[in-house]
Amino acid sequence: MAKYGHISLTFTTLIKKYSSLQSKVLQQVQSLASTISGATPGKFLLIQFSMSQLTQIGDSISNMISQVNSVINNAVRNQKST
């Protein structure tokens, strides 16, 4: 857990925030799809941007989990060799 002042960051809070953001983007997509006749190019661009950000955040979380897994595996490997 990283602590910065009074803010703590855990995988649990990170995943919950990501899930919440994912739900909001899904609601935006559903809203736009239900009123497709009133959709503007600007709305499409905003949703496309939101989806792109969501993908980047998901990739970052995945990379972070992979790095933590690698550190744990290395620690276990080093422990076995001693």
CB 1 within 8 A of CB 8: yes
Its pTM stands at 0.73
How many domains is the chain partitioned into structurally?
1
Amino acid found at 68: V
Q: At what angle do helices 11-34 and 41-80 cross, to 10 degrees?
A: 160
Q: What is the pLDDT of residue 7?
A: 65
- Tens digit of each residue's pLDDT (9 = 90 or more) over 3-27: 556 666 788 888 999 999 999 999 9
| Residue 15 lies in domain | 2-80
Question: Cα angle vertex 58, ends 54, 62, to 5°?
Answer: 170
